[in-house]
Amino acid sequence: MGKTRYQFKVNLFGPDADPQAIGEEIEALIDAKKEHVTPEELVAAGRSRNSALHPVFTFDDIEAGDKWRNHEARRLTTQLHLADKKDPDKASRTRAFIYVKHPNHDGKRVLLSMRSAMARSEFREQAIEQAVRMLQRQLDYWTNQFGTDPRLRRLVKDVDKLRKRAERELLQAI
């Protein structure tokens, strides 16, 4: 059996992050620990400047704190939904806020209320495209993880129908 090859699906870590070296180091840590490794152990190993893991972590505490708070803000806004119209004590499936690329901010992503986004066609289209991309990623995940079940192939072909449904639901929710 040949050597396992590693690649990032998307390199979010910069040019110093070598996926092959990182994969091999994680594999070695797992072997050394006799089966598994925890996220805390990965961070501990990455503290060494000689570790292949080092470039994927932020060890400057001020910078890391700012990154984490930005992550928390994004997580907060993705988890806050509009209340269900029939049962206001429950959350609907519609997010209350959405990040869109805004022309007044040089195309930078900014947070808008879903109502505001749906009121303007360019933002409404972005909201719908985001919903469709999320759905496509989920369908791809199932297809990649669980094989080529004919039922899943049929779902992939129905993305246009799902897109129209997502648009209807977004419009009805606001």
pLDDT tens by residue, 2-12: 788 999 988 89
Sequence spans of domains, the chain: 1-57, 82-173
Exposed/middle/buried for residue 150 (C-beta within 10 Å: 0-12, 13-18, 19+): exposed
Exposed/middle/buried for residue 104 (C-beta within 10 Å: 0-12, 13-18, 19+): exposed
What is the longest distance spanned by two Cα atoms in the chain?
Answer: 58
Exposed/middle/buried for residue 100 (C-beta within 10 Å: 0-12, 13-18, 19+): buried
**The pLDDT value given to residue 56:** 96
**The pLDDT value given to residue 71:** 92
Do 62 and 43 meet the contact criterion of CB atoms below 8 Å apart? no
pTM score: 0.63
Q: What is the chain's percent helix, strand, coil content, to nearest 5?
A: 60, 10, 30
From CA 170, how far away is CA 162, in angstroms rounded? 12
**The pLDDT value given to residue 14:** 92
**The pLDDT value given to residue 23:** 95
From CA 44, how far away is CA 53, in angstroms rounded? 10
Q: CA–CA distance from 156 to each of 48, 75, 136, 146, 159 (Å)?
A: 45, 28, 8, 14, 6
pLDDT by residue, tens only, the chain of 174 residues: 578 899 998 889 999 999 999 999 999 999 998 889 999 999 999 999 999 999 999 999 999 999 999 999 989 998 999 888 899 899 988 888 999 999 888 888 899 998 889 899 999 889 888 888 887 787 777 666 655 667 666 666 666 677 677 777 777 766
**The pLDDT value given to residue 168:** 77
**The pLDDT value given to residue 157:** 62
**The pLDDT value given to residue 153:** 64
Q: Report strand pairing: 97-101 vs 109-113.
A: antiparallel
**The pLDDT value given to residue 92:** 87
